[in-house]
Amino acid sequence: MKVNEIKKIAVVGAGTMGNQIAMQIANSGFPVACYSRKETTVLAAEKFASGWYKKNIEKGKMTPEAGEEAQKRLSFTNDLKSAVTGADIVIEAVADIVEVKKKVLAEIDLYTPEHTIYASNSSYIVSSEFANSVKHPENVLNVHFFNPALVMKLVEVVQGPHVSDEVVETIFEFSKAIGKTPVLVKKEIYGFIVNRIFSAVTKEACYLLDQGVASIEDIDLAVRNGLGHPMGPLQLLDLTGIDLEYDVLMEKYKMTGDLSDKPSPAIVERYAKGNYGKKSKKGFYDYE
C-alpha cells in the first residue's frame, strides 16, 4: 500500500497520546477518526482539540482556513465499529498491558479490511506479544510516537520477525507524510531504543531518591546541567505519567519475574496516592 492510497485512518485510544496523534494526522491532510469507549474521554479530547486549534490560530501559527480544514478531517467517537470500518491504518494507543491490547485488536479485526495495518503505540511491549490477536499478524508492528505527539518528531518503527517488509515501508513513508522522523528498530527488544536508555536513567534517579542520596530537585538539576538534558528524569516522569511508568514496570516484572524490574518505592508511593504527575497536578513536583 502506497501513502497516496491511504484513505482512512483510525486511532483507538483518545487519551493524551491518541488524541494528539490523531490531530497530527489530521493536520497533515489525512482523514482520521479517534475512538475511546468512554464518552468522558471523547468529550475531553474534543475540548482539547478545539482549544488547541483556537490558540494556534490566534497566535498565527495556523491560518483559520487550515485550522478549519484540519478539524473537518478529525472526528471523535465512542463507536468502535464506525471508527475502524474501512480503515487502512489503525493506530492503537491503549494501555500498555498485553491482555488489553490483545482484546482490543481482536475486536478491531472484526470490522477492518484484510489489508489494514495495525500500528501499536506501545512504549515498551513488542508487537509479537499480541500480533496473533488478528487474522494477519504480518500487518501488526510497533510505531512508537513520543509525548507530546504534536511536537516530538521521532517515531520508532519496530520490525518484528512476523512483520512484512511492505508494511514497514508503508509506515515509514506514512510517518514522513505526517511530519515525523522515523527510525527503524531492526530487531524486537523490550523498550526499543529511546525508552531503554530513558529507563536506565530514571531507574537510577529513583534509586538515588529512595536511598536519600539527593533531593528530587538536585537530581534533576544535576542531570540537566551535568548531562545537558533539557529535562531532569523525574520531571520527565511527571510529564509522561507516573501511572504509565508503574504499569510498564509491572508488566515487565510479570514477564521476567525479576524483582529488580519492579517499580521503585518512589514510583509505587506516588502511584498509590494517585499522584501521576502533571495530569493529576502532583507527582514528584506540585503543579497546583
| φ, ψ for residue 221, nearest 5 deg | -60, -40
Whether 56 maps to a domain, the answer reads yes
CA-based nearest residue to 235, from 226, 248, 252, 222: 222
Angle between the 64-73 and 39-58 helix axes, to the nearest 10 degrees? 160
| Cα angle 135-136-137, degrees, rounded to a multiple of 5 | 110
Do residues 179 and 253 share a domain?
no
Per DSSP, what are the bridge partners of residue 158? 142, 185
What is the per-residue pLDDT across 161-216, written as a single tens digit (0 to 9) for each? 999 999 999 999 999 999 999 999 999 999 999 999 999 999 999 999 999 999 99
Do residues 64 and 172 share a domain?
yes
> Is the predicted pLDDT of residue 114 greater than 90, yes or no?
yes
User: Average pLDDT over the chain, rounded to whole?
Assistant: 96
What is the per-residue pLDDT across 134-161, written as a single tens digit (0 to 9) for each? 999 999 999 999 989 999 999 999 999 9
Do residues 221 and 94 share a domain?
no
Do residues 62 and 81 share a domain?
yes
Residue of 27, 142, 175, 195 with catalytic role: 195
Active site residue 99: no
Do residues 158 and 21 share a domain?
yes
| Whole-angstrom distance, CA of residue 23 vs CA of residue 21 | 5
Active site residue 144: yes
Whether 190 maps to a domain, the answer reads no
What is the per-residue pLDDT across 10-53, written as a single tens digit (0 to 9) for each? 999 999 999 999 999 999 999 999 999 999 999 999 999 999 99
Residue of 27, 129, 144, 175 with catalytic role: 144
* Structural domain count, the chain: 2
Q: What is the CATH number of the domain that holds 9?
A: 3.40.50.720
Q: Which domain holds residue 75?
A: 3-185
Q: Tell me the three state secondary structure of residue 154.
A: strand
Active site residue 136: no
The pLDDT of residue 255: 86
Residue of 19, 27, 36, 123 with catalytic role: 123
Residue of 92, 129, 156, 245 with catalytic role: 156
Active site residue 164: no
The whole-model pTM stands at 0.85
140-145: strand order across its sheet: 74-77, 32-35, 9-12, 89-92, 117-120, 140-145, 154-158, 181-185
